[in-house]
């Protein structure tokens, strides 16, 4: 079942001779429960695409649809609520709140939405990601790999329909990168999450079920694994 779709998606900057086509007519379909990697070099448009998929930026043209909702037509307030409840983000920089414990960081997005956290579900996530014994630790006492696990747990805590990962292993060494991605893939399957990850790392991309390639703002090919 399709959960995420773009049609004719465009994002242009500037005008005239200075016009930059960051995205130039992207048609994309993502199946629910899948793990898709979008691979491209710096400047290929992959980060812009991820921001469009998550409603973090407004397209110049085309549409982005999540489930039954066309998010490219939402206003800022509607987008904010939709992102908080339906989309989880994992970034290269972990963006943890330094004065909160691991557990408090994980619960934060749910609490900001005024919802009651599902503590049993959160405990499952913490156990799966090896964080159960680190719940009361502060982020500064954790390694980079452990902090990225907290970021993944935080993204999963609100039970989003889609998890978007922006170079999630960019600050990690090769061994830790593979470990974190393995946990991300396992948690996605266990909790029925749809994952879209952008990366420039071919080895990391091989862990996905499907690989799409982007060049100069256009999808140029892909493969199912």
Q: What does the block give as tokens for 53?
A: 């998929």
Confidence class for position 37, pLDDT limits 50, 70, 90: very high
Which of residues 10 and 220 earns the better pLDDT score? 10
User: 96-125 pLDDT, tens per residue?
Assistant: 999 999 999 999 989 988 888 899 999 998
pLDDT for position 222:
65
Cβ atoms of residues 4 and 29 within 8 Å: yes
Nearest Cα to Cα of residue 89 among 55, 42, 125: 55
The confidence score (pLDDT) of residue 21 equals 93
DSSP letter (8 states) at residue 73? G
pLDDT at 224 over 70: no
Element containing residue 87 per DSSP (H, E): strand 87-91
Residue 108 vs residues 13, 22, 118, 123, 141: alpha-carbon distances, Å: 34, 33, 12, 15, 19
Beta bridge partner(s), residue 2: 31
Buried b (16+ CB within 10 A) or exposed e, 146-178: bbbbbbbbbbbbbbbbbbbbbbbbebbeeebbb
Residues whose CB falls within 8 Å of the CB of residue 163, separated by 6 or more in sequence, listed in order: 87, 88, 89, 90, 155, 156, 184, 188, 193, 194, 195, 196
As a whole number of angstroms, the distance between CA 150 and CA 72 comes to 30
Stated pTM of the model: 0.89
Q: Parse the chain into domains and list their residue ranges.
A: 32-56+75-224
Homologous superfamily (CATH) of 32-56+75-224 is: P-loop containing nucleotide triphosphate hydrolases (3.40.50.300)
Confidence check: pLDDT of 213 > 80: yes
């Amino acid at each position: 079942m399709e959960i995420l779709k773009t049609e004719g998606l465009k994002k242009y900057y500037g005008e005239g001779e200075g016009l930059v086509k960051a995205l130039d007519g992207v048609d994309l379909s993502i199946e629910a429960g899948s793990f898709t990697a979008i691979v491209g070099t710096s400047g290929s448009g992959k980060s812009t695409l991820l921001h469009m998929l998550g409603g973090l930026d407004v397209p110049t043209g085309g549409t982005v649809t999540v489930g039954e909702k066309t998010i490219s037509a939402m206003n800022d307030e509607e987008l904010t609520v939709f992102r908080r409840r339906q989309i989880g983000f994992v970034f290269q920089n972990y963006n943890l709140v330094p004065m909160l414990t691991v557990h408090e960081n994980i619960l934060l997005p749910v609490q900001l939405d005024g919802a009651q956290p599902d503590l049993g579900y959160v405990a499952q996530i913490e156990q799966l990601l090896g964080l159960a014994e680190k719940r009361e630790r502060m982020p500064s006492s954790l390694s980079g790999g452990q902090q990225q696990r907290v970021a993944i747990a935080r993204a999963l805590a609100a039970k989003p329909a889609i998890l978007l990962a922006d170079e999630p292993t960019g600050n990690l060494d090769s061994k830790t990168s593979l470990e974190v991605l393995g946990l991300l893939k396992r948690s996605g399957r266990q909790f029925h999450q749809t994952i879209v990850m952008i990366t420039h790392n071919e080895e990391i991309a091989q862990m996905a079920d499907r690989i799409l390639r982007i060049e100069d703002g256009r999808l140029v090919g892909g493969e199912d694994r």
